[in-house]
Structure 1
Amino acid sequence: MPRSGPDRTPRLTLDETKAFLAVEFPQMAHGGPTYVIEEVGYGTARLRLLVRDEHLRPGGTVSGPAMMALADIALYVALLGAIGPVPLAVTTNFSINFLRRPEPRDVVAIVRYLKIGRSLAVGEAELRTGGGEEPVAHVVATYSIPPKG
C-alpha cells in the first residue's frame, strides 16, 4: 500500500488570510494598501509591495527596510497557510542578502518553507522587482510557533 504524505492543504484561503490580517494587524493597511497578498498555499506565498515614495531611499531605489518588511510579512503569510490563524507566531531569526539594486518599482516576494515543525519553522523568500528575472534580495528566516492550547 503506498504511503501517504503529510496533508499539504492550505489551512487558510487567500480571503481568510486577508480577513485575519485585517483584524489582527490593521496597521498593515495604514495609509492605504501597501502589501498585496497574491497567493497563499501550504507554506508558500506571493506578496507584492506597492512601492511609493516613502519606500525609496536616496538614489531612487527601494530601501532595505521596505524590502525586509515585505519579506517578513510574506513569510508570516506563508506560515499561516501551513498552521492556520496563529497571531503569536513570531520571527526569531531573519537574515537578508541584498543581491542587486532594486529599481523603484513594485517588489514581489516569493516564499517557501523548508521545514515546518511543532515549534519552529524555517523559510526563505526571494524578492524581485516587478517582472524582473533576477532576484534583488534573498531572505532566510525562522519563526517560533506557540504551543497549541
Structure 2
Amino acid sequence: MAETPAVTASEAEAILASQPFSRLIGVEVGEVGYGHATLRIPLREELLQQFGTVHGGVLSYAADNSLAFAAGTVLGPNVLTRGFSVDFLRPSNGDHLRAYAEVVNHTSRNALTRCEIFTVGTDGSEALVAAAQGSIARVDR
C-alpha cells in the first residue's frame, strides 16, 4: 500500500499561490505523491536570457522548489532548502520546463532529494537540461 503524501497537490498549489515569486515565474503543480513531486513552468520571453534560452536562475528556481516539494511529501509542508547544487547540461528552450524531484533518503527532520529538469517542446519531445541534488530540512513553525 502506498503511503499518503504529507503534502497533496492541492496543498502544493496553495503554497505556490502564497509565494509572490512563484506567481511571477508562473509555476504550476504537476504530479505529487509520497516521495516525489513534479513542477511545470510555462516558458515565455521574460524567463529567457540574451541568447534566447532559459535563464539559469529559472532553472535553479525549478530545482530548488521541486526538491523542497518532494521533501515536503515526506517531511510535511514546513520545509526549507538547506542547500543544493545544480548542473546545467545544455541550453534549454521550448514550450515549458518539467522539473521532477524525488526523495533519495530521509529522517524525520531532513531529506536528501534529487531532481531532473527537462525542456518540453510543443510536440511533447523532452530533453534533459539540468540536474540537481539538495538537502531539505523540516522546520518548526
TM over 0.5, yes or no? yes
- Residue 26 of structure 1: how far off its partner (Å): 4.2
Partner of 1:101 in structure 2?
Answer: 91
What is the 5 A alignment of 1:124-143? Answer: 124-130=114-120, 131-143=124-136
- Residue 17 of structure 1: how far off its partner (Å): 2.0
- Residue 21 of structure 1: how far off its partner (Å): 3.5
Instruction: Give the letter for the 2:71 counterpart.
Output: L
For the structure 1 residues 44 and 106, does the alpha-carbon distance in structure 2 shift closer, same or farther, using more than 3 Å as the test?
same
Cα-to-partner distance string for 1:68-102 (whole Å, 9 max, x where unaligned): 0011111121122222221xx21111111111111
* C-alpha contact 1:90 1:144 (8 A) present in aligned 2: yes
The 4+ residue runs of structure 1 with deviation greater than 4 A are: none
* Contiguous gaps of at least 5 residues in structure 2: none
Deviates more, 1:98-107 or 1:56-65: 98-107
* Contiguous gaps of at least 5 residues in structure 1: none
Partner of 2:52 in structure 1?
Answer: 60
> How large is the RMSD of aligned CA atoms in angstroms?
2.1
What is the 5 A alignment of 1:63-102? Answer: 63-86=55-78, 89-102=79-92
Partner of 1:144 in structure 2?
Answer: 137
Partner of 1:22 in structure 2?
Answer: 17
* C-alpha contact 1:11 1:80 (8 A) present in aligned 2: yes
Please say if 1:10 is aligned against 2:5: yes
* Secondary structure of 1:12's aligned partner: coil
- For 2:104 and 2:33, the matched residues in 1 are separated by 14
Q: Give the TM-score normalised by the residue count of structure 2.
A: 0.86
Structure with the bigger percentage of strand: 2
Deviates more, 1:77-86 or 1:47-56: 77-86
Number of aligned residues = 138
